[in-house]
Structure 1
């Protein structure tokens, strides 16, 4: 099933998972898949190892398992900066042969010590390339607080418009902790003529190290309410976990109430956290009137 069609009749609720590290067998993620599929998400996205990491095959295997064993619609991430057109062609053919029809097309992170392949410099180029191949539903990433490499948000939104014009059918945001940031971003994108569904990416933060890593990677700002929570419970791992879950639930309820197109939950392969949040918001999602 193509994911774009899901947005027409309800608030989409989806998960992100990642393959195990190269040093771990793929079977280590199967218990997570078992638990997550039981929560009945609309789809599950599977991240893709950066160029040369060797995890691309695991992405395909996990996506295929989601589709064939669990009946869950998969979306495969596909970064391009370290791949040639021939390599992308082979990956797309593997996706096609295995019935994977939803792709999150990304530039991807630069890998230290590896030179970019230079066939695709920007995600918009990959999106247009996949679109011309036909048969795939294409999503793109967006940054409510501006991509770390963009000079400002207005410029970043212009680049985002290029992704949509190139063929992206829906968008998934990077994580954020202040919903007003998302609402401002949604207004700006609409003003720029971007009219595709936008899923809000929510990450339940369950430990301080995770917070520091995410802020360093994506530049997300931390509102006072959030930092007070962390400071209050940082010496109690279980309390911080529960507080982080509660904070994410509060974000999601507010977003659904405000008519968000969808929620994309960054699970960090933690089925306990995903279950707690899913159970808390399931009734609200079902109560949202169909437009």
Structure 2
């Protein structure tokens, strides 16, 4: 049997397969060690960027900044800072953006943000940005950021119709967004039909599918209900009875996600954004199944290794 090639290219050799990874800022030293272990493990895959989330209402502002700064300081990865406008004045948000510029961060994931706990609808701050599109425009006034915005193949829960959602997406792109990163989805056909509508609307920036490896099905099902992502029955059947069987669950999760990505590749997709949940091994396995291997030579991303064994928490 011939060896399976470890390639970092799609079947279309003109399109290089690229990935990016999302992390969230840690709350404790133990979580910090887990996060950094994940970054160390995934860095050799040469992601286009690694993004760090921003808690509701800016609740993780300092932790997000600290994590982004550490990535910038201790690796040669490109960090992308999430930034939201909910519950904050324009000047407060733009001050954060300027702080990122000052330390050399040029990539921002601009999001309106979820309403505070206890509120069901977004309400703009009296002195704040009215929308995500307004936020993108404000960021453009501060500096030459590479700005990613969110897209929702299954429609954002706050949108009254797919048409309204699409018009809003176009406003974000027209305001200066560089790419669209989608909410995760499990029905590939839903994404493909949505992508067709996006292109028909004259939106031509790159569309990067968000991929969520299913580490815990019950948790994913609950979160999906809240954010409007459909969980197909076939997916529930695959994970049924695996709550106490983590090894099989991991195999199923890796297979489901890699097959989804391969199907998307067949439709011309050449870049994926993985929601890692600060855990590396499942995402790494999926990337391997896609033929994405560690870079070699000087192009390989580098990370400072922890000084002691105690700094690393096994994933």
Short-chain TM bin: 0.7 to 0.9
Cα 1:67–1:79 change in 2 (3 A) is: same
Single out whichever of 71-80 and 272-281 deviates more from structure 2.
272-281
Aligned to 1:117: 125
Counterpart mapping for 1:81-230 below 5 A: 81-112=86-117, 116-118=124-126, 119-230=128-239
Q: Give the Cα–Cα distance (whole angstroms) in 1 for the partners of residues 292 and 91 of structure 2.
A: 46
**Please, what TM-score do these two structures have when normalized by structure 1?**
0.88
In structure 1, list runs of 5 or more residues that go unmatched. 1-7, 287-291
Task: Assess if the C-alpha contact under 8 Å between 1:215 and 1:221 holds in 2.
Answer: yes
Q: Which has the higher helix share?
A: 1
Task: Assess if the C-alpha contact under 8 Å between 2:15 and 2:270 holds in 1.
Answer: no
Aligned pair count reads 278
Runs of 4+ in 1 over 6 A off after TM superposition: 22-25
Task: Assess if the C-alpha contact under 8 Å between 1:197 and 1:261 holds in 2.
Answer: no
Q: Give the Cα–Cα distance (whole angstroms) in 1 for the partners of residues 39 and 98 of structure 2.
A: 24
Q: Give the Cα–Cα distance (whole angstroms) in 1 for the partners of residues 110 and 140 of structure 2.
A: 11
In structure 2, list runs of 5 or more residues that go unmatched. 1-13, 296-315
Which structure: larger Rg? 2
Aligned to 1:289: none
Task: Assess if the C-alpha contact under 8 Å between 2:94 and 2:142 holds in 1.
Answer: no
Counterpart mapping for 1:48-63 below 5 A: 48-53=54-59, 55-63=60-68
Aligned to 1:71: 76
> For 1:276, which of 279, 285, 305 is the aligned residue?
285
Q: Secondary structure at the match of 1:108?
A: coil
Aligned to 2:276: 267
Task: Assess if the C-alpha contact under 8 Å between 1:206 and 1:245 holds in 2.
Answer: no
Q: Give the Cα–Cα distance (whole angstroms) in 1 for the partners of residues 118 and 190 of structure 2.
A: 35
Task: Assess if the C-alpha contact under 8 Å between 1:43 and 1:75 holds in 2.
Answer: yes
Q: Give the Cα–Cα distance (whole angstroms) in 2 for the partners of residues 99 and 128 of structure 1.
A: 20
C-alpha deviation, 1:258, in angstroms: 1.4
C-alpha deviation, 1:9, in angstroms: 5.8
Cα 1:217–1:23 change in 2 (3 A) is: farther
Q: Give the Cα–Cα distance (whole angstroms) in 1 for the partners of residues 256 and 31 of structure 2.
A: 33
Task: Assess if the C-alpha contact under 8 Å between 2:108 and 2:146 holds in 1.
Answer: yes
Task: Assess if the C-alpha contact under 8 Å between 1:207 and 1:237 holds in 2.
Answer: no
C-alpha root-mean-square deviation of aligned residues, in Å?
2.4
Aligned to 1:255: 264
Cα 1:77–1:265 change in 2 (3 A) is: same
Aligned to 1:3: none
**Please, what TM-score do these two structures have when normalized by structure 2?**
0.81
Larger RCO (CA within 8 A; separation ≥ 6): 2
Task: Assess if the C-alpha contact under 8 Å between 1:176 and 1:201 holds in 2.
Answer: yes
Q: Secondary structure at the match of 1:86?
A: helix
Cα 1:39–1:10 change in 2 (3 A) is: closer
